[in-house]
Amino acid sequence: MGKIRLLDYQTTNKIAAGEVITNPASVIKELLENSIDAKSNRIIIEIKKGGKEKILIKDNGVGISADDVLLAFKRHATSKIHSIEDLEYATTLGFRGEALASIASISKIDIKTREKNAKSGIHVKIHGGKVILHEEIGCTKGTSLTVEDIFYNTPARYKYLKKDSIESGYISSIVEKIALSHPEISFRFINEGRQVFHTPGNNDLYSCIYCLYGKKFADDLIEIQYENHPLKIFGYIGKPQLCRSNKKYQIFFVNHRYVKNRILSQALQEAYKGLIMIHKYPVCILNIQVPSSMLDVNVHPAKTEILFRHESLIYLLIKEAIREILKEKKLIPEVNLNS
């Protein structure tokens, strides 16, 4: 008899979950992206024990219809794209249809959701991928999703989670970035019942930065607005004195998505050449808009890594944009003007 067999659906889901869901912060990132894609303008995030015991995300977005709610937890089920061609133009943060299925397979989920015009809402509980409750309820418009006991059925994965304070730190960092990428949405972050921050949601990036990082940080920022086809840049860069000994405050968004990209960080560093000491790193919170045809975001399931097509053009334009504003603000000394 042959030895090869097809794995069952539950097992393949748990394996797939390993790619996107690595810790509570990655669960929160996926859930927040869903809330943003659902056009919410108010989102509450609550965690307990570094997100290991409980995560709650409550939004006031479009909600999920009664017909769709179970389907949403199936792998490769998405309302955001229909075919591979749509990927090229995907403007939503999600599109793989994997997050809810993955999260549901390794935790205990409780979801209450209602579409705006629906008579009633739906309440579903899924434990380790199995639906254990499915009922109609009265609830407010939007979606409220609780994730409890992450990795309770995959002890080998649970073992790799860090202590609560470290996991909370990861969560805080990702929630901050998502809040900065959407200043038009009000984010309230609560850890162990205590409010950590509450962004105003008034569509003003500066007040969002102020709210997260404080007055002293915000005072040392310079606004940047730059347009040079095909690139548009909007955001803030730090005065040289705001530079840090790590890259924690080098925050880049490309088409509203928080990204990590070597080219962007190198362009920033190069623009400050001669202005800051060795082993110091400039600070920035920059939104970069490029035509989606110049990007490939589908490099990794978590989607924070991106590849630019025409990398060197992007590098040059970003460097030039930053140099230009530093010169304008007379932060680049005269002698360096032609360097």
Q: Angle, nearest 10°, between helix axes 311-328 and 262-271?
A: 30
Q: Is 63 an interacting residue with respect to Mg ion (CB under 5 A)? A: no
**CB 136, min distance to ligand ADP, A:** 18
Nearer to Mg ion, 99 or 231 (CB): 99
DSSP for 174-230 reads HHHHHHHH-TTSEEEEEETTEEEEE---SS-HHHHHHHHH-HHHHHTEEEEEEEETT
The window from 44-52, 76-84, 160-168, 265-273 that contacts ligand ADP (CB under 6 A) reads 76-84
Q: Find which of Mg ion, ligand ADP, none residue 61 binds, CB within 5 to 8 Å per kind.
A: ligand ADP
Which DSSP letter does residue 78 get? -
Q: Find which of ligand ADP, Mg ion, none residue 97 binds, CB within 5 to 8 Å per kind.
A: ligand ADP
x/- string (CB under 5 A) for Mg ion, residues 3-42? -------------------------------x--------
Query: Could you tell me which of 267, 274, 262, 335 has the C-alpha nearest to residue 304?
Result: 262
Q: Is 95 an interacting residue with respect to ligand ADP (CB under 6 A)? A: yes
Q: Is 283 an interacting residue with respect to ligand ADP (CB under 6 A)? A: no
Q: Is 61 an interacting residue with respect to Mg ion (CB under 5 A)? A: no
Q: Is 94 an interacting residue with respect to Mg ion (CB under 5 A)? A: yes
Strand partners, 254: 257, 288
DSSP for 76-127 reads T--SS-SSHHHHHT--SS--SS-HHHHHHHTSEEEEEEE-TT-SSEEEEEEE
Q: Is 99 an interacting residue with respect to Mg ion (CB under 5 A)? A: yes
Q: Which residues bind ligand ADP (CB under 6 A)?
A: 30, 34-35, 38, 59, 61-64, 72, 77-80, 94-101, 143
